[in-house]
Structure 1
Amino acid sequence: MEVSKSESVKKKKRRLRLEEKLKIIDAVDRGFSYAEIASQYGISIGSIAYINSNKQTYLSAIEKGYNLDIKKTPTEVTQRCDQEIKEFIEKSLNANLPLSRNLITTVAKESYTDNGKTNFKGSNGYYNRLKKRLNLKKLKLPEDDAAVDSLKLHKWKLASFEIISEYTQNNIYNLDETGLLMKKSPECTFFDDDNDDESEEVKQKKREKKGRSWLTIIFICNMSGVKEKLKVINRYEKPRALRRYNFDHTKLPVDYYFNDNAIMTSDIFQSIIMKWNEELKIQNRNVLLLLDKLKGHHIDFVPSNIKFLYLHPDSTPVIQPLEAGIIKEFKDHYISRYRKCLLEEMEKTATNIQFAIKKLNIVNVIQLINFAWQDVKTETICDCWKNVLDQKTNFASLFDHNY
Structure 2
Amino acid sequence: MSHRKALTLEEKVALIKDNQNGHGLSVRQLADNYKISKISAANIRRRSEEFLADYSSNSNKGIKRKLKDENRQKIDEIVFEWFAQQRAKQIPFSDPILQEKARQVAEQLGYTTETFKASNGWLEKFRSRHAISFRTINGESASVDDSAVEEWVQRLSTKLDGFNENDVFNADETGLFYRATPDRSLVLSKEECKGGKKSKERLTVFLCSYLTGTEKLKPVVIGSSQRPRCLKNITTSKLPVTWLSNRTAWMTCNLFTDWLILINSQMEKKNRKILLFIDNAPCYIINHDLSNFKIVFVPPNTTSKCQPLDQGVIHSFKCYYRQKLVKHIIAQCTLAQTADQISI
Normalised to the residue count of structure 1, the TM-score between the two structures is 0.44
Residue of structure 1 equivalent to 2:285: 298
Residue of structure 2 equivalent to 1:4: none
Structure 2 runs not aligned, ≥5 long: 1-141, 186-196
Residue of structure 2 equivalent to 1:176: 172
Cα displacement string for residues 212-270 of structure 1 (whole angstroms, at most 9, x for unaligned residues) = x110000001112122111000001111222112xx32122210111111111110001
Matched, 1:186 2:172: no
Residues in 2 aligned to 1:313 and 1:158: alpha-carbon distance in whole angstroms: 16
| 1:188 to 1:182, Cα distance in 2 relative to 1, 3 A | farther
Matched, 1:270 2:266: no
Residue of structure 2 equivalent to 1:250: 237
Question: Structure 1 counterpart of 2:230, which letter?
Answer: A
Residues in 1 aligned to 2:145 and 2:164: alpha-carbon distance in whole angstroms: 26
Report runs of 4+ in structure 1 exceeding 4 Å deviation: 148-153
Sequence identity percentage: 29
Cα displacement string for residues 276-314 of structure 1 (whole angstroms, at most 9, x for unaligned residues) = 111101111111101100011112013111111100112
| 1:260 to 1:224, Cα distance in 2 relative to 1, 3 A | same
Task: Work out which of the two has the higher radius of gyration on C-alpha atoms and give 1 or 2.
Answer: 1
Residue of structure 1 equivalent to 2:98: none
Cα displacement string for residues 143-174 of structure 1 (whole angstroms, at most 9, x for unaligned residues) = xxx9x975544444444422213211111111
SS in 2 for 1:175: strand
Q: Which has the higher contact order (CA 8 A, sep 6+)?
A: 1
Residues in 1 aligned to 2:181 and 2:255: alpha-carbon distance in whole angstroms: 30
Choose which of 328, 338, 343 in structure 2 pairs with 1:352.
338
Shift of residue 342 of structure 1? Answer: 1.1
Residue of structure 1 equivalent to 2:229: 240
Shift of residue 346 of structure 1? Answer: 1.6
Residues in 2 aligned to 1:188 and 1:296: alpha-carbon distance in whole angstroms: 35
Residues in 1 aligned to 2:210 and 2:330: alpha-carbon distance in whole angstroms: 35
Residues 221 and 241 of structure 2 are in contact (CA less than 8 Å); yes or no, is this contact kept in structure 1? yes
Residues in 2 aligned to 1:153 and 1:215: alpha-carbon distance in whole angstroms: 30
Alignment of structure 1 residues 138-287 onto 2, 5 Å: 150-187=146-183, 210=200, 213-225=201-213, 226-245=215-234, 248-287=235-274
Residue of structure 1 equivalent to 2:59: none
Alignment of structure 1 residues 4-153 onto 2, 5 Å: 150-153=146-149
Residues 220 and 227 of structure 1 are in contact (CA less than 8 Å); yes or no, is this contact kept in structure 2? yes
Question: Structure 1 counterpart of 2:267, which letter?
Answer: L
SS in 1 for 2:283: helix
Choose which of 299, 314, 320 in structure 1 pairs with 2:301.
314
Residues in 1 aligned to 2:165 and 2:157: alpha-carbon distance in whole angstroms: 15
Question: Structure 2 counterpart of 1:310, which letter?
Answer: F
| 1:188 to 1:252, Cα distance in 2 relative to 1, 3 A | farther
Cα RMSD, aligned residues only: 2.5
Question: Structure 1 counterpart of 2:210, which letter?
Answer: N
Residues in 2 aligned to 1:305 and 1:188: alpha-carbon distance in whole angstroms: 49
Residues in 1 aligned to 2:322 and 2:148: alpha-carbon distance in whole angstroms: 38
Question: Structure 1 counterpart of 2:255, which letter?
Answer: I
Residues in 2 aligned to 1:318 and 1:281: alpha-carbon distance in whole angstroms: 31
Shift of residue 355 of structure 1? Answer: 1.4
Residues in 2 aligned to 1:307 and 1:153: alpha-carbon distance in whole angstroms: 21
Residues 170 and 276 of structure 2 are in contact (CA less than 8 Å); yes or no, is this contact kept in structure 1? yes
Residues in 2 aligned to 1:269 and 1:327: alpha-carbon distance in whole angstroms: 19
Residues 148 and 299 of structure 2 are in contact (CA less than 8 Å); yes or no, is this contact kept in structure 1? no
| 1:312 to 1:279, Cα distance in 2 relative to 1, 3 A | same
Question: Structure 2 counterpart of 1:222, which letter?
Answer: Y
Shift of residue 186 of structure 1? Answer: 3.1
Residue of structure 1 equivalent to 2:106: none
Residues 186 and 339 of structure 1 are in contact (CA less than 8 Å); yes or no, is this contact kept in structure 2? no
Residues 172 and 309 of structure 2 are in contact (CA less than 8 Å); yes or no, is this contact kept in structure 1? yes
Question: Structure 2 counterpart of 1:285, which letter?
Answer: R
Cα displacement string for residues 76-129 of structure 1 (whole angstroms, at most 9, x for unaligned residues) = xxxxxxxxxxxxxxxxxxxxxxxxxxxxxxxxxxxxxxxxxxxxxxxxxxxxxx
Residues in 1 aligned to 2:338 and 2:270: alpha-carbon distance in whole angstroms: 50
Shift of residue 187 of structure 1? Answer: 4.6
SS in 1 for 2:216: coil
| 1:188 to 1:179, Cα distance in 2 relative to 1, 3 A | farther
SS in 2 for 1:179: strand
Shift of residue 188 of structure 1? Answer: 5.0
Residue of structure 2 equivalent to 1:335: 322
More helix by share: 1
